[in-house]
Structure 1
Amino acid sequence: MSEEHAAPDLRIESSRVYRGPNVWSYEQAIHLVVDLGSLEDFPTDRLPGFTDALLRLLPGLESHTCSRGVRGGFVERLRDGTWLGHVAEHVALQLQQEAGHDLRRGKTRGVQGRRGVYHVIYGFTDERVGLAAGELAVRLVNHLVSAEEGFDFPAELEAFLARAARYAFGPSTAAIIEEAVSRDIPYTRLNGASLVQLGQGVHAQRIRATMTSRTSALAVDIAGDKNLTATLLGSAGLPVPKAETVRSADGAVAAARRIGFPVVVKPLDGNHGRGVCLDLRDEEQVRAAFPLAEEQSRRGVVQVESFITGKDYRCLIIGGRMAAIAERVPAHVVGDGRHTVSELVEITNADPRRGIGHEKVLTRITVDDAAVALVREQGFGMDDVPGEGVMVKLALTGNMSTGGISVDRTYDAHPDNVEIAEEAARMIGLDVAGIDFICPDITAPVRETGGAICEVNAAPGFRMHTHPTVGEPQFIAKPVVDLLFPPGSPSRVPIVAVTGTNGKTTTSRMLAHIMKGVGRKVGMTSTDGIVIDERLVIKADASGPRSAKMVLQNPRVDFAVMEVARGGILREGLGYDRNDIAVVTNIAPDHLGMRGIDTLEQLADVKAVVVEAVPRDGFAVLNADDPHVRRMRRRCSGTIVWFSMAAPGSAVRDFIDERCRRGARAVVLEPSDRGEMIVLKQGRRSMPLAWTHLLPATFGGAARMNVANALAAAGAAFAAGAPLHDIRQGLRTFDTSYYLSPGRLNKVDIRGAEIFVDYCHNPPGMEQLGEFVERYVGQRQKATDHRISRIGMVGAPGDRRDDDIRELGRIAARHFDVLIVREDDNLRRRAPGESATLLLEGAQQAIDEGARCRQVVTVLNELEATRHAVLRANAGDVVVLCVDQHAKVLAELEEFGRRAQAGARSTEEHLGDPDLDPAELTTSAERRMADDDQQLRAVLDNHTTEEI
């Protein structure tokens, strides 16, 4: 089949599952990186017979449109010549279609800089099935290039379909989910079976098959006790058979005598018709039926009841109203005068609608000893040939799970019978109930013709109604979803996604604080953990999609704020299908050189996923000062809310003002003699919000990064519909205390020195932090004649590029008098001291160029470095600690403060200002203190040099 040099070299290098919008697709997708090897030189037109063989095995590929946009477009591409990575994409989609998953989206793109390596992206419904489809697709393509010994594709396909059937939702669950999706109600599978959440947060409802969040557990227990069910229904005057419960064969015989033959023997708490024996006409039959029923009874109790003759009807009651009625016909075959009973069963089971268990709309007929005995009672053997048109029963009960069929009778039922079924469901208390009627004809009143309710079922199956063998299907999932989500009721909570290089955590916290003041129960994810209504419930880096799903599953949450990190988007996509509001703070160089992201443009493409996930009625809050963020406006389907710190008259402000004149929204700064005012603009309206210097988080306006964060948070809150006075109050009450903003510019006073703790870890963040120090010290300097020293502690994550770490050191050296270099506990595959050395190199380069830093000390351990920094500070000095483990550092500072407050003082507790010159001191006591400090400094410097 293949040319001489073509070898089956196609292989999967890596696989990834995107569970939400991602850089490749607006929807969930599988991402394979495949290497064609030598097959890069063999597109399909160079592989004789490949296309025809592929189409013989998977004829459904002929319907694929591909890039041609017409049916058969993919076949044209095959015959014209396309690469085998592209073929694997379409095969993976078709395999999932064979399993009943209607998927059509996919793409194949070359990996930049690597010949013969491709990104293969395609949609999925169940990720396990999607991954298996990709693996089988690669095997099939290789097999068609060069036959793999022992590879039997039909058998492999059958195994794949069987696996897909195991993972698939049952017909009842699938029908409800399909109805929910048609109404834009999101769903989440909570386990490997049929437990599903519909909706989000406070609006969420759960289903398990046809049991719902509103199904009474007490009602389920009552329905499971057939004797109690009959008693309750009988007390309400509803027709029920006479019944008794027994625990022995002798008891069953005695009960049958009292009730009168014929009788039914069945398990008290069974299901699916298992162990039910009908039309027992003597004591011997009752005695033989008892162990069969007892085996299927969970409690070992068996019910004996009078046998009601007639047809078997299932009435489905939802929310107290009749939704559908089906006549259930027991498993049977119809003779044709040519085939034996066994052959007729095989022919019947060959119907593609029949499968094992509940995997398809009909169940295959199983021939067991009971079936053989029943056939014998009708005068046939399994090898006999019934006459044409003769029906041979293989089961007495009409359950679909034993191979029965259904006939829709929804519009045939007499109103009296409908009323009886509805009353029965109300008596038991089930929101979704299956009422089993036995009567001669459902079109006539059972009180006149005879008949009874023989059973009430909780969690009734839907497939006999959604896929009747005869008659029109009933759309019974609609009333179930109406029950859970009445028309007009919400199913989603507002989701705000906040991303960017710096500021996203503080912006998320500000927004959550504002919405808390509005009265919302806010669920928030951030790099510190998951917060539900201001309570930290999980402490971890929770800025990924799994954390987002956890928030949306919490039943208290009615407003979600998601910090979305670059890594989570690249790893799994977003954890939801869309966000109502997207906030992008800025795009700056960080994490470059990781996961194929080497440029700011590529990083912006990743961050833009949250903007692309905004619907038409949503908003994107974008930083107009950042050109990369500003360009994201073209990717947004919703409304843009700009925020900017640019001064009036600048090009950016002109850009914003021009759009506001056309009705756009923006949050900007308006300077005046009294300070800067945050102003909300909508169209030609301007609404003053707050003075920046009065916001606690800005430290009198010095923390410009928090001014920008406040603008972004105000814009998001405005887009979310928060009243102006609540936005204003939220900004005025949000501060950088450890309670509200752990690890973000937390301020601690120790012995008169001001200690700031921040999570700054990249060069752009250090530039902002340095500008804050300049402004803050400048404000303080005006109020005092004393010189204020600046002491900084810095560290860099080990997974950043060498140049980025050096740049961090260079910037820090320009803003601090003393620099203390530390390292994270997690070195991220670097050697101990390696990151610190790079920081030192950058700092030394800045010092050589005239930076203000006069001393650089290395203390690798974060807590030791913290103690060293605090010991160096005199009263009035400013210390900035750039930390990794902020909780541990704050605890250490609290201990420092406690000891200082208690009056503890020793040489080791006060190292002092490194810039003091002993010759300038006026007293011998001061000289002695300076000498001691210098000795201790020398000891510490020697210690840290050895650590390097």
Structure 2
Amino acid sequence: MTERPMPDLAIVETRVYRGANVWSYDKSIHLVVDLGSLEKFPTNTVPGFTENILQMLPGLREHSCSRGRRGGFVERLNEGTWLGHVAEHAALALQQVVGHDIRRGKTRAVKGRPGFYNVIFGYVDEQVGLAAARLAVRLVNHLVEADPEFDWDSELEDFIRRAQRTAFGPSTQAIIDEAVSRDIPWIRLNQHSLVQLGQGVHAKRIRATMTSETSSIAVDIASDKDLTTKLLGAAGLPVPKQEMMRSADQAVRAAERIGYPVVLKPLDGNHGRGVILDNENEADVRAAFEIAKAESRRGVILVESQIVGKDYRCLIIDGRVAAIAERVPASVTGDGTSTVEQLVDTANADPRRGVGHEKVLTRIKVDDAAVELVREQGFAMTDVPPEGTMVKLALTGNMSTGGISIDRTFEAHPENVEIAEEAARMIGLDIAGIDFICPDITEPVRETGGAICEVNAAPGFRMHTHPTIGEPQFIAKPVVDMLFPPGAPARIPIVAVTGTNGKTTTSRMISHIFKGMGRKVGMTSTDGVVIDERLLIRSDASGPRSARMVLQNPRVDFAVFEVARGGILREGLGYERNDVAVVLNVQPDHLGLRGIDTVEQLADVKAVLVEAVPRDGHAVLNADDKLVREMRRRCSGQVVWFSMEEPGSEVREMIDAHCRRGGKALVLNPSERGEMIVVKHGRREMQLAWTHLLPATFGGKARMNVQNALGAAAAAFAAGAPLHDIRQGLRTFSTNYYLSPGRLNEVEVNGINVIVDYCHNAPGMKALGDFVDRVGDSLSSSHELARPSRIGIVATAGDRRDEDMRELGHIAAQHFDVVVVREDVQLRGRKRGETAALVLEGVRTAISEGARCKQVEEVLDEISAVRHALSRANKGDLVVVCVDKHGEVMAELETWSHQAQAGSGDRADSPAGDPDYDAASAES
């Protein structure tokens, strides 16, 4: 046994889940940590550990942990808990230090790996969460054995600064908080303040307090202070006299015309930068001109009459006053013992003050202008002002220069409110900050001599949401009301489809149904991202990033997502919830990857979709699959069953009982005329369609597509589609190459029947083999004495287990006379020929057991394998191609057909093909 604990805690693997995942209903960070020697040392065996970590992170005292009460985690520390668990709570506590109220976390041992733990915790900002994880691990190691290079205070300060750099400003955060309270989803579009509220066609964007509704012309007008003043003056609103100048001499002459005192400010400035007040003579104007020019982008300075009074900011949202604040310039008040410099330090020590907009108040900055202003008041920075004497450190009351705010929302005179609202309308801003200078906002400015000195686009909310004195105003509410009026939708319906086989075809069926209803459907699948039937991205798009891409598209009003296990394990769902979750089946596939070793674990992964169904949503589940049936217990909404079992079976009895309680289901009812898809809702039964009349089912022979049609119809019914639209969608959906590329496409090449399908695993091969048997029995040969041959070109991905590859070959041999084994372009960690060898082994084993197959051949290249199979096939034969690059294969098949029509024995140099799926496109 190790004599003493060593700082061995290490992060082995890191994953960021951006949506619901196998560990949590919400976004989380997942660490796999190795405790090393610390596996033998819980916290109660490490001297001083508990006392030290509570001193460094006192927030841990509030953690309830599994005890469900305050201080529960401290109890666990004293009793002895493992340090991976401590890292989880430390990461949460660090995020809480920077204001991220996250409390979700769990730590679980990694099965079969002693000393390794899964550490999962929630986050608000991804980068902050990752930084918290790294610092938490370093802190734990430091407390086990002190690291002389680890300075906790410095590390914590660096962490806080990093969090502040990535955090939203107070205005953006206020709007997001209000949106979240209304169940409006949001997506951060960059590392700054650009945020999307809502989804698809309902989406709106904000950047701080600028919105999708903000007019760019209005922003330009507000940025031009001279033009703003002219427009307001032309509307009869009170404004100061003003002239625009480019030189100090011109500014002096303008000041003499306007009359002293005057104000100088840059034409295109903001946040009060470069605004100089109380210029009472030529020398003042010349000095102020240089300061203002330094803050101007275009070098144009405004000289305007100085209005005497207090500084008020009127916030106008959607044409109405939402809040009014009095802004008081940065200042300190003497206590009779401290110098001005010491008083400033004391004021900046206020925890409410920070750098920039990171906190409620901004630290007072002592620059040359502040020192000069203090001197003009008769003090030096090292002087001690008399008790009660106020010393100004800035002339303007902007919060960004250290000022404070006093709420005056309900004190303003109605006439002043009307003037502010009219000013915002004149400029055309949906959100505007109107700056008033007047003796008292409670009196009409037309009588007291006040005026509007400035109109601001994108005004800050901080002075209103966090006033220094007075009640905070909830001004994010009118902003969200403007973007999403009460009753307006913010979400688009989301249908998510998962399963081992059939996901892509079912997703396409659902999309086709809703496209026929006039919806603008955004779909993701293993073939790419499709928006309103246009293929935008050609790649495997069954992951969370593709889903977010659809939700950001402003044309989409209905989303259908194919969701694969890999994306769930890698990043989670990528969205918050789905209105309808469809689970087709759970069968052995991709086992042995990312810790998924059993089919039961695979079912847990796919059940994430069911767990993401809200109370008013639906889970569409295959009642014929035992593992899928069990998922009903994880659904918060309603369950819609679909089944291919015959009436009287145990499954159908379960469904009948479900429907008697008011539930929904889609089933098959056999008759002499065929199978009828029936919709059951409560005690009602409604006929939908004959399976043999649906093109995708090949007259009912393609049983997998009968099942897919049931799942698609059930999903459409759950999503609110009328029955006649569902029926029409299924009747017009076929497996031709243009509607369903690479999925059971039928092509005739010189009299040879060719089926192209993306079959890639043993369960899929079993379903495809059943279809081949049903189709093959109906084929007629060109030779009277010979039956049609069945030739299968098969392959599988290299990341599957050896036994899965052998099983695929074994099953293929049961249904084909000749099996041609090829390999994918991407070998996925295998050597060239290794995957094919395993499939061949399975085929040969089946042949030795008396399987249908009599000949097996190896042609590794896909196109070469297609050419080989076509060369040896006769008219009337059936060739089934399990494809990898379906675009290239279809182009090759079209070339063979073209050669036959042209009567040429030579191959065409440039194969014809679908321009959307030709060889070059597929390669990209």
TM more than 0.5: yes
- Which range moved further: 822-831 or 505-514? 822-831
Counterpart check, 1:579 vs 2:578: yes
How far did 1:905 drift? 3.9
Determine the structure 1 residue equivalent to 2:258. 259
Query: Does the CA contact (< 8 Å) of 2:781 and 2:875 recur in 1?
Result: no
Counterpart of 2:885, as a letter, is: Q
Q: Which residue of 2 aligns with 1:450?
A: 449
Matched residue, 1:685 = 684
1:754 deviation in Å? 1.1
Q: Distance in 2 between matches of 1:192 and 1:311?
A: 37
CA offset at residue 780 of structure 1? 3.3
Corresponding residue SS for 1:836: helix
Could you tell which deviates more after superposition, 224-233 or 658-667? 658-667
Residue 465 of structure 1: how far off its partner (Å): 0.2
Q: Write the distance in 2 (CA, Å) between the matches of 1:749 and 1:898.
A: 12
Alignment of 1:424-443 (within 5 A): 424-443=423-442
* 1:596 alignment counterpart: 595
Please show how residues 167-182 of structure 1 align to structure 2 within 5 Å: 167-182=166-181
- Structure 1 residue 906, shift from structure 2 partner: 7.3
Q: CA RMSD in A?
A: 1.3
AA paired with 2:840? L
CA distance in 1, matches of 2:294, 2:756: 68
Does the 8 A contact of 1:308 with 1:451 survive in 2? yes
Say if 2:245 is the partner of 1:246: yes
Confirm or deny that 1:389 pairs with 2:388.
yes
Matched, 1:315 2:314: yes
* Greater alpha carbon shift after TM alignment, 643-652 vs 507-516: 643-652
Partners of 1:899 and 1:680 lie apart in 2 by 48
Residue range with higher mean Cα deviation, 634-643 or 746-755: 746-755
For 1:815-830, list aligned pairs within 5 A.
815-830=815-830
Map 1:33-52; keep pairs closer than 5 Å.
33-52=32-51
1:726 aligns with 2:725: yes
Which aligned pairs between 1:263-412 and structure 2 lie closer than 5 A? 263-412=262-411
- Determine if the alignment matches structure 1 residue 811 to structure 2 residue 811: yes
Residues 769-799 of structure 1, C-alpha deviations (whole Å, 9 max, x = no match): 0000111122335999662211110011111
**The residue matched to 1:780 in structure 2 has which SS?**
coil
For 1:454-603, what aligned pairs fall within 5 Å after superposition?
Answer: 454-603=453-602
Partner of 2:697: 698
Structure 1 contact 84–141 (Cα < 8 Å) conserved: yes
Distance 2:677 2:781 in 1: 25
Q: Distance in 2 between matches of 1:815 and 1:301?
A: 84
1:924 aligned partner:
none
Structure 2's unaligned 5+ residue stretches are 910-924
The equivalent of 1:29 in structure 2 is: 28
Structure 2 vs 1, CA of residues 378 and 732 (structure 1 numbering), >3 Å: closer, same or farther? Answer: same
Q: Deviations over 1:397-419 (max 9, x none)?
A: 00000000000000110000000
Question: What corresponds to 1:915 in structure 2?
Answer: none
* Aligned residue number for residue 928 of structure 1: none
Partner of 2:802: 802
Q: Distance in 1 between matches of 2:569 and 2:291?
A: 57
2:222 counterpart residue number: 223
Specify the SS of the correspondent of 1:425. Answer: helix
- Structure-2 residue corresponding to 1:945: none
Listed one character per residue, the Cα deviations across residues 561-610 of structure 1 (whole Å, up to 9, x for unaligned) are: 00000000000000101000000010011000111101010000000000
Task: Provide Cα deviations, 1:908-928, integer angstroms capped at 9, x if missing partner.
Answer: 99xxxxxxxxxxxxxxxxxxx
Partner-residue secondary structure (3-state), 2:779? helix
Map of 2:919 onto structure 1: none
Is this contact kept in 2: 1:466–1:473, CA < 8 A? yes
Aligned equivalents of 1:776, 1:661: Cα separation in 2: 39
CA pair 784-474 structure 1, distance change in 2 beyond 3 A: farther
The answer for the alignment partner of 1:643 in structure 2 is 642
* SS in structure 2 of the partner of residue 779 of structure 1: coil
Following superposition, the deviation at residue 664 of structure 1 comes to 1.1
For 1:788, give the aligned amino acid: P
Q: CA separation in 2, counterparts of 1:190 and 1:149?
A: 41
Within the alignment, does 1:867 sit opposite 2:867 as a pair?
yes
Paired residue total: 907
2:302 maps to a residue whose letter is Q
Please tell me whether residue 897 in structure 1 is matched to residue 897 in structure 2. Answer: yes
**Alignment partner of 1:757: what SS?**
strand
Normalising by structure 2, we get a TM-score of: 0.97
Structure 2 partner of 1:186: 185
Which runs of structure 2 are paired with 1:182-221 in the superposition (5 Å)? 182-221=181-220
Contact in 2 for aligned 1:871/1:908 (Cα 8 Å): no
Aligned to 1:880: 880
Residues 849-905 of structure 1: CA deviation (Å, up to 9, x unaligned): 111111111111001101111112211111100010111111111111111111224
Q: Is this contact kept in 2: 1:582–1:620, CA < 8 A?
A: yes
Whether 2:91 is the aligned partner of 1:92: answer yes
Report SS of the residue matched to 2:327: strand
Residue 290 of structure 2 aligns with an amino acid whose one-letter code is P
Alpha-carbon separation, structure 2, partners of 1:123 and 1:908:
58
Cα deviation per residue 1:309-368 (whole Å; 9 max; x = unaligned)? 100000000000000000000011111111100000000000111110111111000100
Distance 1:906 1:614 in 2: 57
Determine helix, strand or coil for the equivalent of 2:581: strand
1:4: Cα distance to partner?
5.2
Contact 2:895 2:908 in 1 (8 A): no
Instruction: Name the CA distance, whole Å, in 1 between partners of 2:519 and 2:326.
Output: 50
Distance 2:386 2:3 in 1: 60
Partners of 2:384 and 2:901 in 1: how far apart? 102
In the alignment, does 2:855 pair up with 1:855? yes
Cα distance in 1, alignment partners of residues 493 and 54 from structure 2: 47
CA distance in 2, matches of 1:54, 1:908: 75
Distance (Å, rounded) in 2 between the aligned partners of 1:251 and 1:823: 81
- 1:135 aligns with 134
For residues 456-496 of structure 1, what are the alpha-carbon distances to aligned partners after superposition, in whole Å with 9 as ceiling and x for unaligned?
00000000000000000000000000000000100000011
**1:20 counterpart SS class:** coil
Q: What secondary structure does 2:590 align onto?
A: coil
Conservation of the 8 A alpha-carbon contact between 1:312 and 1:328 = yes
**One-letter amino acid of the counterpart of residue 652, structure 1:** V
3-state DSSP class of the match of 1:497?
A: strand
Any conservation in 1 of the 2:240–2:304 contact (CA below 8 Å)?
Answer: yes
Cα distance in 2 for partners of 1:457, 1:71 equals: 47
Give the letter for the 2:123 counterpart. F
Residues 1:169 and 1:672: Cα distance change in structure 2 (over 3 Å): same
Paired letter, 2:455: V
Single out whichever of 850-859 and 476-485 deviates more from structure 2.
Answer: 850-859
State the partner residue of 1:845.
Answer: 845
Question: If the length of structure 1 is used for normalisation, what is the TM-score?
Answer: 0.95
The residue that corresponds to 1:422 in the other structure is 421
Q: 1:217 to 1:907 in 2, by over 3 A?
A: closer
> Hey, what does 2:789 align to over in structure 1?
789
Higher alpha-carbon deviation: 498-507 or 864-873: 864-873
Q: Is the 8 A contact 2:84 2:119 kept in 1?
A: yes
Distance 1:782 1:637 in 2: 55
**Aligned counterparts of 1:385 and 1:351: Cα–Cα separation in 2:** 21
Question: Gaps spanning 5+ residues in structure 1: where?
Answer: 910-948
Q: 1:450 to 1:459 in 2, by over 3 A?
A: same
Alignment partners' CA distance in 2, 1:870 and 1:728: 37
Q: Quick check: 40-49 or 183-192, which moved more?
A: 40-49
1:695-731 CA deviation, whole Å, 9 max, x = no partner? 1101111100000000000000000100100000000
Q: Give the distance between the partners of 2:898 and 2:686, measured in 1 at CA.
A: 46
Contact 2:362 2:401 in 1 (8 A): yes
**Alpha-carbon distance in 2 for matches of 1:780, 1:879:** 12
* Whole-angstrom CA distance in 1 between matches of 2:500 and 2:300: 66
Name the CA distance, whole Å, in 2 between partners of 1:784 and 1:461.
Answer: 84
Q: Give the secondary-structure state (helix, strand or coil) at the position aligned to 2:251.
A: helix
Give the match's secondary structure for 2:778: helix
